[in-house]
Structure formats: structure tokens, C-alpha cells
Amino acid sequence: MAIRLNDNKEIVASIKAGLKEKGGYCPCRLEKTEDNKCMCKEFREQIADPEFEGYCHCMLYYKEK
């Protein structure tokens, strides 16, 4: 298993700028809760699933099997 940044540098730059503006909270989510702090709870749970392969909600990270 490996976790990497999206290969699209424009997406990465946009999401990182959004994270900076929102103090580390996912720019794709409206609420600022601990569950939405990057790396969000949803993606941490997906990482724990050995069958999951894909992007996090905002497409910043990609989990490979």
C-alpha cells in the first residue's frame, strides 16, 4: 500500500491553497470539524480498508493497493 499526491499538479496546488486558507480543513467541505481536518476521517477509513484503491474526497491523495 502506498499513499501519494495526485499527479495533477494544478489540483494539488489548488487543494493545498484551500487547505492553507481554511487552516488545514478540507476545502471541499463546508464544516470545519475534526473529521474534515486533512487527512480527513473519510480517507483515513478508506486507507484502513485493504480493498480500497482511489482518491480521497478532494482528490489530493491517492491510495494504491
pLDDT digits (tens, 9 = 90+) for 1-56: 899 999 999 999 999 999 999 999 999 999 999 999 999 999 999 999 999 999 99
CA torsion 39-45-49-54 (nearest 10°) is -50
Distances, alpha carbon 46 to alpha carbons 9, 25, 32, 37, 43, in Å: 23, 18, 20, 15, 5
- The pLDDT score that the predictor gives to residue 1 is 86
Predicted confidence (pLDDT) at residue 61 exceeds the cutoff of 90? yes
Which pTM value belongs to this model? 0.91
Query: What is the model's pLDDT at position 63?
Result: 98
